[in-house]
Structure 1
Amino acid sequence: MDFVFLYFMITLSVANATLRGPQVVNGNEGESVQITCTYHMFFRNYQKYWCKGKNRSACTILVKTQGSEKTISEGRISIKDDKRVGEFTVTMDQLTLNDQDMYWCGIIRFLMDLQIPVKLDIFESHQLLPPVTDNLSVQEIRKNNSKYHFIWSILRWIFFVILLLWGIVAMRI
């Protein structure tokens, strides 16, 4: 059993569900958007960031938290970490068509950052945003996310133990 493969499997099963955010965000040229990424409370004291780029390993960090819950701004982009609820919010003001790209919500960790992709689509100012098809309120979404995080917080450790035992057994064979 290759140690790298085992490490990769454990990392996927335990770590990647600890950070969530929208897959696609729509905005109008000249206006603002807010992107909220939620994380497991274990990571509340870790530094969070927002980066831009097609590839997660080569994205450019645009703004990052400084350890407190203060809003940090870099030009038209700001980030605020709400450690009480386990989420950080990125605000991009005065959107331009050039802002349309792939972005990443990220948490700085030793060896491997946690990241999730967010596609930002910008519509020209005379176009309307596509219609919203679901009627879920923010509270309902947070409630659903809370249930998901609770269930996953239990299941991921079960998966971790299974993978660990599988790795130990495979090394003995």
Structure 2
Amino acid sequence: MDFAFLLFMISLSVTRATITGPDAVNGSVGQSVHITCTYDTYYSNYQKYWCRGHAWEACTVLIQTQGPRKVNSDGRITATADNEAGEFSVTMERLTVNDQGWYWCGIERYFLDLLSPVKLKVNEADKLLPSFSDYLSDKETQRQKNSQYYFTWSVLRWVFFAILLVWAILVKLKI
């Protein structure tokens, strides 16, 4: 196998690894919210999904799409992928208090999915604006989740890079 090709593949494994969305979204009971996550157009042909769960390892996929538009079975969630713009959008309609929680925009990959956490806060009709303490606790929780995820990924990608680099060198030396 060509050494230059291996180095190219290694560099791809630690770059372009991003999908971003809003930290938090507020909605009201009975209303709808629209969330847009952006990604590198390199991932245009990859499966995109929207899942729910506090931890991404155990989140439940609510809707997924590879095509331009998909509506889930109960008609409350719509997902749209604009692969030319690198945008994955989700609309959740007829919100209930039970919809409140952690969600993830995701791109399915072979080794490790790309994910971006989004906290959905659903306000009841009489409480339209969140309190300042709610805002601070949501931001702090989000900051902690992001720092754990990005720290883990930053360590893992360089470990993976080192393993691939050693492997490429061994292949070149034919050991």
Instruction: Please classify the TM superposition score into its range, dividing by the shorter chain length.
Output: 0.5 to 0.7
Unmatched tracts of structure 1, length 5 or more: 1-9, 132-158
- SS in structure 2 at match of 1:49: strand
User: 1:12, 1:126 → 2: CA distance?
Assistant: 48
Are residues 103 and 12 of structure 1, via their aligned partners in 2, closer, same or farther at CA, if it must alter by over 3 Å?
A: farther
**Conserved 8 A contact 1:28-1:129:** no
Taking every aligned residue pair, what percent have the same amino acid on both sides?
Answer: 45
Unmatched tracts of structure 2, length 5 or more: 1-10, 132-156, 171-175
Aligned-residue offset at 1:68: 1.7
Aligned-residue offset at 1:14: 2.5
Q: Does 1:14 align with 2:15?
A: yes
**Conserved 8 A contact 2:64-2:70:** no
User: 1:120, 1:114 → 2: CA distance?
Assistant: 19
Pairing 1:90-169 to 2, within 5 Å after superposition: 90-130=90-130
- SS in structure 2 at match of 1:112: coil
User: 2:57, 2:16 → 1: CA distance?
Assistant: 17
User: 2:15, 2:84 → 1: CA distance?
Assistant: 22
TM-score by length of 2: 0.65
User: 2:22, 2:61 → 1: CA distance?
Assistant: 18
Corresponding residue of 1:36: 36
**Residues 115-150 of structure 1: CA deviation (Å, up to 9, x unaligned):** 11110001001222359xxxxxxxxxxxxxxxxxxx
Q: Which runs of 4+ in 1 moved over 2 A?
A: 10-16, 70-74
Are residues 40 and 30 of structure 1, via their aligned partners in 2, closer, same or farther at CA, if it must alter by over 3 Å?
A: same
Highest CA radius of gyration, 1 or 2? 2
The residue type paired with residue 112 of structure 1 is L
**Conserved 8 A contact 1:68-1:81:** yes
User: 1:12, 1:103 → 2: CA distance?
Assistant: 25
Corresponding residue of 1:26: 26
- SS in structure 2 at match of 1:45: coil
**Residues 60-98 of structure 1: CA deviation (Å, up to 9, x unaligned):** 000000x22123333211101011210011010110111
Q: Does 1:62 align with 2:66?
A: no
TM-score by length of 1: 0.66
Corresponding residue of 1:139: none
User: 2:25, 2:107 → 1: CA distance?
Assistant: 20
User: 1:50, 1:74 → 2: CA distance?
Assistant: 14
**Conserved 8 A contact 2:108-2:114:** yes
The residue type paired with residue 85 of structure 2 is V
